[in-house]
Amino acid sequence: MESAAIREAKEETSLDVHLREQFHSYSDPDRDPRHHTVSTVFIATATALPRAADDAREARLFSMKHLPTPLVFDHGRIIADYLRYKQGTATVDIFSLQDLQR
């Protein structure tokens, strides 16, 4: 799974990423209206600027305060979960059973 994440980052953004940790897997059947998808999110670093590649039309950087809207699928939730984690909330509290059932 890690090698696939590194490969996809390279294909879509031209970035060589270093995976720091696996954050969470999202698997709500309603997260993508086309079909049930599962996304595993990794926290990663890179040292260059992204460039669109493969099937990505463009790649840009955004500050957390100026994210584009709307975001597709449940990506807003994923970013919100990550920000809670960065602020020190334990993943067990972010991903409690009650939170997963919302």
Alpha helices in 1-102 (DSSP H): 2-13, 75-86, 91-94, 97-100
CA 22 to chain centre: 10
- Tally of CB atoms within 10 A around 67: 12
Residue-wise pLDDT for 25-49, tens only, equals 998 888 888 889 899 999 999 999 9
Domain containing residue 17: 2-100
pTM of the model: 0.84
Query: Which of 2, 8, 12, 58 does the annotation list as catalytic?
Result: 58
Judge whether 58 counts as a catalytic residue: yes
CATH number of the structural domain spanning residue 85 = 3.90.79.10
Domain count, the chain: 1
Residue 10 has pLDDT above 80, yes or no: yes
